[in-house]
Amino acid sequence: MQKTTTTATDSSITTNSAKKTPVRYAFLYCNSPSTQRQYPKRLKLFFDFVGIEGNDLEEQGQNFLDKARQDSEWAQQSLMTYLAYHKQRVLRKEISAGTLKTMWVPIKTFMDAFDDVADIIKWKRVSKSLPHMKTYSNDRVPTIEEVRRLVEYPDRRIKAIVYSMCSSGIRIGAFDFLKWKHVTPITNDKTGELLAAKLLVYAEEPEQYFTFITPEAFNAIKAWMDFRKLYGEQITGESWVIRNNFAVADLKRERTTPAAAASKKHKGGGNNRRTTTLKRLDNKSIGRLLMRALYEQGLRESLEEGKTRHEFKAAHGFRKYFKTRAEQVMNRLNVEYLLGHSIGLNSNYYRPTEQELLTDFLKAVPSLTIHDQNIESLKEHQEILEEKQEQKDKEIAILKEQMQLMKEQAEIMREEVKINQDYLAQLKPQLQHLLNKVEQNNEELKKEET
């Protein structure tokens, strides 16, 4: 009984929310924070265009729903007039066909939230009437020279960010979940040489997966973590990899040598004000940092009139950089796996081990390394791996030949056995005849002796 009451109460709350705040209710289940932020803005453009009155967006939303329920033809005509206006903007190349889609999808999402108006608009007909949009962009990947110029930007965090994204292809949003415990170095068991590092991406989220970064990227992250520790931050596994910046002029550094510890002179002030006021740097802030670095390093200029896109994307360009370079030497499915992409039906059957992915990734380390001085040793390591792979391929080829030879020999033996069986089958009547004759002769001899 209590469960029924609770359900009824929850239903009542939902109904009241839909009436009082229809816009908020309609976009409540949008997963992306960006979608929740942008959709109401796009919806208001539509309401203002068709002349829906209201003191705020929620009141406009309710007024639109009321009118649409009374006059479905008005709702259809209002939407088509709105889209026709923006279609003309597409033809004048003021906006793209992709932008036009963002104009009507929020309207559809809003109306779909209410069953009595969801089917008023023939959405399939609407989508067919709109210009086709390109499913790809014409941007390129940044060159290695451009990446090298970018990481010269005077911010200690920039190398950790850029090297990690270039060598793993992680999205900028992955830094919202990345902690120090999610970065695990991988070394050679015999020599202790750093080979790569494992990165746990979107840890504890439904889309969690793992990938790898180059030794150069790991060293850049570790240098940044060590720098923070030097100025008083307590670094643990729970520490965010990318945090807010802090001034160091008035901070006491950790005394790292016996001589410094014995000295009474200690440069810096006495209060660790900003190292202890730690704040994770979210993906928006990282995006602004990258954008600022691109402009200040002369890698990006203001767009010319009539252009809407830069040559390469600020953050997503590094993801494309990884894919482009890695696929030159790696198995394509492995690259998709390390990008966290779904690989269609192959996802159900293709399950490479972590070691197999690492072995393949190590082939790409020299191509993904931006500035490391140990690139020659990495190339040597790659050559050793390639030699081992060639030797393995030769051994597999020899085994295949031996198996084929054994198969042919077994086939010959089966043929011989079959021939012998046929020959024996032919001899059997003759042998039986001889045996019968011998027995007959024996009986005759016995009679004669008697």
Asked whether residue 445 is domain-assigned, the answer is no
Asked whether residue 170 is domain-assigned, the answer is yes
pLDDT for 20 equals: 74
Q: Which residue segment(s) compose the domain that 306 sits in?
A: 144-244+279-372
Same domain? 175 vs 285 = yes
Residues of the chain short of pLDDT 50, as ranges, are 1-13, 266-273
**Counted domains in the chain:** 2
pLDDT for 11 equals: 45
For the entire predicted model, the pTM comes to: 0.64
84/102 Cα distance (integer angstroms):
14
Same domain? 116 vs 23 = yes
Measured between its terminal Cα atoms, the distance across the chain in Å is 113
Asked whether residue 310 is domain-assigned, the answer is yes
Give DSSP secondary structure letters for 327-340: TTTS-HHHHHHHTT
Same domain? 124 vs 201 = no
Mean pLDDT estimate for the chain:
83
Asked whether residue 76 is domain-assigned, the answer is yes
Domain boundary among 338, 372, 406: 372
Give the CA angle between residues 379, 385, 388 to the nearest 5°: 145
pLDDT for 327 equals: 94
pLDDT for 129 equals: 77
Nearest alpha-carbon partner for 110 in 218, 21, 239:
21
Q: E strands along 44-134, which residues?
A: none
338/361 Cα distance (integer angstroms):
9
Asked whether residue 31 is domain-assigned, the answer is yes
pLDDT for 254 equals: 62
pLDDT for 289 equals: 95
Nearest alpha-carbon partner for 169 in 349, 361, 359, 348:
361
pLDDT tens digits for 303-352?
777 677 788 888 899 999 999 999 999 999 999 999 998 776 666 788 88
Asked whether residue 273 is domain-assigned, the answer is no
pLDDT tens digits for 354-369?
999 999 999 999 999 9
Same domain? 207 vs 295 = yes
Residue 258 CB neighbour total at 10 angstroms: 8
Same domain? 224 vs 193 = yes
306 residue type, one letter: G
Asked whether residue 345 is domain-assigned, the answer is yes
Domain boundary among 347, 372, 397: 372
Asked whether residue 390 is domain-assigned, the answer is no
Q: In sequence order, what are the residues at sequence separation of 6 or more whose Cβ sits closer than 8 angstroms to the Cβ of residue 267? A: 252, 253
Same domain? 32 vs 172 = no
Half-sphere exposure of 207 (CA within 13 A, CB side): 12
Domain boundary among 315, 340, 372: 372
Q: Which two tokens stand for residue 54?
A: 């209201």
Strands 209-213 and 194-201, how do they pair? Answer: antiparallel
Same domain? 237 vs 125 = no
Same domain? 97 vs 149 = no
